[in-house]
Structure formats: C-alpha cells, structure tokens
Amino acid sequence: MLDERFLKSNPTDPAIAALSGDHKENLEWLQGYFDTKDTALRIIRDKSAFHYDKQLNLDEAVADVTEDERRVYLAEHPANGLYYLGSSIVFRTVFAIVADKAGGTSAMSQIERMQKGVDVALTDVQEVNVRLHAVLYGLERISISPGHIRMS
C-alpha cells in the first residue's frame, strides 16, 4: 500500500518530492534493501512470516538440538512447549540461511552459522532503523515547514 501510494505514484507524491537529498538517499536505500530477495530481513520474512517455508531443510537444525533442548515436560498447562521447540528449529534454519547468503560459512557448524545469521540480521536491523528514522524525520520536517504540504 505504501509502495503504491507514495513510492510509485505518478506524478511523484508531493511529500516524497519535498524530501531533501539525504532523506531521498535513505529512502532509496530502504527501497533497494526491501526489493532485494537475498537480504537478511527479507529472508526471515519470506521463510517464517505467516507460514513456514515448506522447503526449509530442518534436518541440520534438528540434529544440533542438545539433550536438554530435547527434554519436553508434560503438565496440565504445557504452555506450548512443543511449539516453542519447533519454532526454535525453524529459526535456527532461517538464520543459517541468512549466514550462508552472507558467505564464509563452509567450515562453520549449524550453531555457528545460526549465530552469524543472527549477527547479520541485527546489523541490518540497525541500518534499516537509522535510515527509516532519517526518512521519517525528513517527512516530519516537511510537515512543519512553511509552504510545504501538511501531512495528517
């Protein structure tokens, strides 16, 4: 919706057109990041949001589950203990995929790949956060500048 309404509108949306060069550069970076399928956050979303990707190979992650992690306690209120184990296995696999896309993982174990994937994703989250705030700050400045479009 935002893409259609603001980013790809023709003519260019006045709020987007009024952004400064730095703010537009940050917006273009964000568009490029989220339009690319091999970025960490896009992989995480595509493989785990809504429904888990059926093509995830979970064998390696299952093989790396420790003895303590395999222990399941049954109680009157198990609080979705099995769901959490399954989710953990899926996300281990997804973060390993993120690491593999970043490269340099051929000699790493599943757990090392997962950790590298988490690190890559967190680095990307930080970059996206900084750039997104820059764009929002630019839009906010436009909304309070005399003679510019007021955004509501």
Number of domains comprising the chain: 1
The model's pLDDT over 73-108, given as tens digits with 9 standing for 90+, comes to 777 776 666 777 888 889 999 999 999 999 999 999
Q: Would 115 be classed as within a structural domain? A: yes
Q: Would 15 be classed as within a structural domain? A: no
Q: Would 84 be classed as within a structural domain? A: yes
Give this prediction's pTM: 0.79
Q: Would 123 be classed as within a structural domain? A: yes
The model's pLDDT over 17-66, given as tens digits with 9 standing for 90+, comes to 888 999 999 999 999 999 999 999 999 998 988 778 878 888 888 888 88
Q: Which domain holds residue 39?
A: 20-144
Q: Would 9 be classed as within a structural domain? A: no
Q: Would 11 be classed as within a structural domain? A: no
Q: Would 73 be classed as within a structural domain? A: yes
Q: Would 12 be classed as within a structural domain? A: no
SS3 118: helix
